[in-house]
Amino acid sequence: MKRRKTIPDHRKKLGEAIRVRRKELGLSQEGLAEVVDCHRNFVGRIERGEQNPTVDMLMRFSKALQCSVTDLFSEADL
Amino acid sequence: MKRRKTIPDHRKKLGEAIRVRRKELGLSQEGLAEVVDCHRNFVGRIERGEQNPTVDMLMRFSKALQCSVTDLFSEADL
């Protein structure tokens, strides 16, 4: 509610792909945050598309999610 | 020469994929910078992996390069 800007569609799609993959692995947001080594809130923000992640961060997420960054973007149809 | 940190391998690969695609289109760094609407030096830094681009920025690059972000990561083998 604090953000005024509209969330870009591509970020919503990427966030959703990350959420789907996380659930496939049976991980909670907290569990994923622990593997990625970031705050749990950050995972939530990524999944909702509120955060604009960098490539370095996406590499950490994809490793934690045991897939490639290509897989995540492909799943997000981006 | 100003950067002390080693450039991560994944950024070099992604930058190289962007460079290859740019050249396929016969674009100069300046030409690409104009379409992306960023500084020419920024394109150089992305291609050398010195810059850690965000997803929003990669979307702009992929549009300018007339391909998908998935294509870029796939080409970079990431």
Rounded to whole angstroms, the Cα distance separating A51 from B55 reads 10
Q: Is the pLDDT of residue A3 over 60?
A: no
Q: How far apart are CA A45 and CA B70, in angstroms?
A: 22
The answer to whether B67 and B74 are in contact (CB under 8 A) is: no
Q: Are B50 and B41 in contact (CB under 8 A)?
A: no
State the nearest Cα–Cα gap between A70 and chain B, in angstroms.
5
Cβ-based contacts of A74 with chain B (< 8 Å): 70, 74
Taking only Cα atoms into account, the Rg of chain B, rounded to an integer number of angstroms, comes to 12
- Is A3 domain-assigned? no
Contact between chains at B73 and A73 (C-beta distance less than 8 A): yes
On whether the CB atoms of residues B67 and B2 are closer than 8 A, the answer is no
**By CA distance, what is B67's nearest residue in A?**
A78
Is the confidence at residue B5, as pLDDT, over 90? Answer: no
Q: What is the pLDDT of residues A11-60, one digit of tens each?
A: 999 999 999 999 999 999 999 999 999 999 999 999 999 999 999 999 99
Residue B2 lies in a domain: no
Is B3 inside a domain boundary? no
pLDDT bucket at B37, cuts 50 / 70 / 90: very high
Domain count, chain A: 1
Instruction: Please state the pTM of the whole predicted model.
Output: 0.92
Among candidates B36, B69, B37, B76, which has minimal Cα distance to A9? B69
Whether A28 has its CB under 8 Å from any CB of chain B: the answer is no
B77 domain residue, yes or no: no
B43 inside domain: yes
- Domain span holding position B25: 9-72
Q: What's at B6, amino acid-wise?
A: T
Residue B78 lies in a domain: no
**What CATH number is associated with residue B38?**
1.10.260.40
The verdict on residue A2 lying in a domain is no
Residue A1 lies in a domain: no
Contact A73 B78 (CB under 8 A): no
